[in-house]
Amino acid sequence: MSMDATAGVSAANVPLQCSDIHRYLGEAESRVHVLRGVSLQLQPGCVHAIVGPSGCGKSSLLYVMGLLDRPDGGRIALSGEAVEGLTDDQVSCRRNEHIGFVFQFHFLMHEFTAQENVMIPMRRLGRLGVREMQERAAMLLEMVGLGDKTRRNSQHLSGGEQQRVAIARSLANDPQVLLADEPTGNLDTANSERVFQLLTNLVRQQRKALLLVTHNLLVAEASDWIHEMRDGLLTGCRAGRPH
């Protein structure tokens, strides 16, 4: 873990942090200690990249920090609020409101248009009326450069466009934290660059915290902070060279 990445940020202003996280996977003889006391704080307006070899625990850390998985030990705090002891439903509500996920594969629902896909998290939150949700979804799609394809069925979009819809969807409820698991891993170079640029711009403009797991060294180098991970531990943290 690096203290440099969070220097000067008070605990209440840390959108997401974890400390001494342990996670085991598997049963009996095949039980593996995938996270061995990981601590990390995300800064608002910063892109944090986690790099490391396959199987080192990058995605496991992302899922635990995204409240999709429960750690076997350690603490997680979302905007200063500890999430231990929350029920599954309460955790789901926090996730819906405060965290946006982007995966390697877009995972859009083919039964819905691009706009409807973006509206799905908003429907769960239930704060906006249908018209407001439609307007916000259209605005988010406009922001990712798909303003003219809001009514298009998601399966009739290209791979890059689908991933941009997924980014718009992750921003649906205006979360403070974005978690991206190899968001460019399934895209060609041009689309990779575009998607990464889009994410970093959003983070900077809207003061969100982005934690991304990547194997792409160019993407990692362009992040604000690069966390190196090995055998379930964060072994180092250094500043990147953002454009």
Residues that bind another protein (CB under 8 A): 59, 63, 66, 68-69, 88-89, 92-97, 99, 101, 103, 105, 107, 109, 111-112, 120-121, 123-126, 169, 172-173, 181, 186
- Contact between 225 and 240 under an 8 Å Cβ cutoff? The reply is yes
The DSSP output letter for 51 is: E
Length reported for the chain: 243
Q: Closest approach of Cβ 91 to another protein, in Å?
A: 9
C-beta closer to another protein: residue 63 or 225: 63
Q: Closest approach of Cβ 120 to another protein, in Å?
A: 6
DSSP secondary structure, 90-127, as one string: HHHHHHHHHEEEE-SS----TTSBHHHHHHHHHHHH--
Q: Closest approach of Cβ 60 to another protein, in Å?
A: 8
Which residue has tokens 């921003």?
171
C-beta closer to another protein: residue 123 or 238: 123
Output the CA–CA distances (angstroms, integers) from residue 76 to 58, 70, 143, 158, in the order listed: 16, 10, 31, 37
**No. of helices (H) and no. of strands (E), the chain:** 7, 10
C-beta closer to another protein: residue 69 or 228: 69
Q: Closest approach of Cβ 100 to another protein, in Å?
A: 8
C-beta closer to another protein: residue 58 or 237: 58
